[in-house]
Chains A and B, each alone.
Chain A
Amino acid sequence: DVKVTQSSRYLVKRTGEKVFLECVQDMDHENMFWYRQDPGLGLRLIYFSYDVKMKEKGDIPEGYSVSREKKERFSLILESASTNQTSMYLCASNPSTGGIQPQHFGDGTRLSIL
């Protein structure tokens, strides 16, 4: 069974801090994704990566960066946290098979910026 693990379930940080969210998958998937989930807005893609050291901007990349140094790990970085980045963050992965395979999600990190 595919397991996607996010390092923290709940996180509280202060405005201006640099915040790291970590995600690890154990199924050798090529693709990894970071989404944020807000009520009424569904899931919005922040960044994705289709290979080690490769990254592409999603729909809302402003204020975020990512790092993928190893295939199994994909990190989301909030360069200078702001209150409007308070949200649920979801990491996902899937194999690179032309879009026919579903994404596997972690349980999410609920981030509060004070």
Chain B
Amino acid sequence: AQSVAQPEDQVNVAEGNPLTVKCTYSVSGNPYLFWYVQYPNRGLQFLLKYITGDNLVKGSYGFEAEFNKSQTSFHLKKPSALVSDSALYFCAVTMNSGGYQKVTFGTGTKLQVIP
């Protein structure tokens, strides 16, 4: 079975400060990891993914995430937060197991950037 944990329901950060949204995962093989963002009354939008290769991946809107296999983590980061980054963030994991690959989503972390 695979699972994703987002340990913080909400993260508050001041505008201009660095932000981190945490994600840990559990899979029996090599993971594919994703971050999505959801703005109010909208669907999820893809931010970035880790499939293989460089552990640091860069995505949309200046976000990046670091894959850490030993800690089974994939934390989302941004060097300088904007008020417009305030949204709900979801981490997701799947793996290449042949056939359909089920995606498991975390419960989401609400990011509040304070002006």
Bound Cα distance A40, B96 (Å):
28
Closest to B43 in A: A105
Question: Would you call A108 and B43 a contact (CB within 8 A)?
Answer: yes
Question: Would you call A42 and B108 a contact (CB within 8 A)?
Answer: yes
Question: Would you call B90 and A99 a contact (CB within 8 A)?
Answer: no
Bound Cα distance A86, B44 (Å):
19
Neighbouring A residues of B32 by C-beta, 8 Å: 99-100
B22 at the interface (CB under 8 A from A): no
By the criterion of a CB under 8 Å from any partner CB, how many residues of chain A are at the interface?
25
Binds A, one of B13-21, B77-85, B97-105: B97-105
Interface centre among B51, B101, B103 (most CB of A within 10 A): B103
The secondary structure that dominates the A interface is: strand
**In the complex, what's the smallest C-beta–C-beta distance from B44 to chain A, in angstroms?**
4
Contact of B103 among A40, A98, A99, A107 (CB under 8 A): A99
Neighbouring B residues of A106 by C-beta, 8 Å: 43
Neighbouring A residues of B74 by C-beta, 8 Å: none
Q: When A42-B108, A43-B90, A98-B96 are in contact, do A103 and B41 touch as well, CB less than 8 Å?
A: no
Question: Would you call A107 and B42 a contact (CB within 8 A)?
Answer: yes
Bound Cα distance A15, B25 (Å):
38
Neighbouring B residues of A43 by C-beta, 8 Å: 44, 90, 105
A45 at the interface (CB under 8 A from B): yes
Bound Cα distance A92, B94 (Å):
15
Contact of A90 among B43, B46, B94, B103 (CB under 8 A): B43
Neighbouring A residues of B102 by C-beta, 8 Å: 45
Bound Cα distance A100, B49 (Å):
8
Neighbouring B residues of A105 by C-beta, 8 Å: 36, 43-45
Taking beta carbons and an 8 Å cutoff, which residues of A are in contact with B? 4, 9, 31, 35, 40-43, 45, 48, 50, 56, 90, 92, 98-100, 102-108, 110
User: Known pairs A102-B49, A103-B46. 17 more at Cβ < 8 A?
Assistant: A4-B43, A31-B100, A35-B105, A40-B107, A42-B105, A42-B108, A43-B105, A50-B100, A98-B101, A99-B32, A99-B94, A99-B103, A100-B96, A105-B43, A105-B45, A107-B41, A108-B41
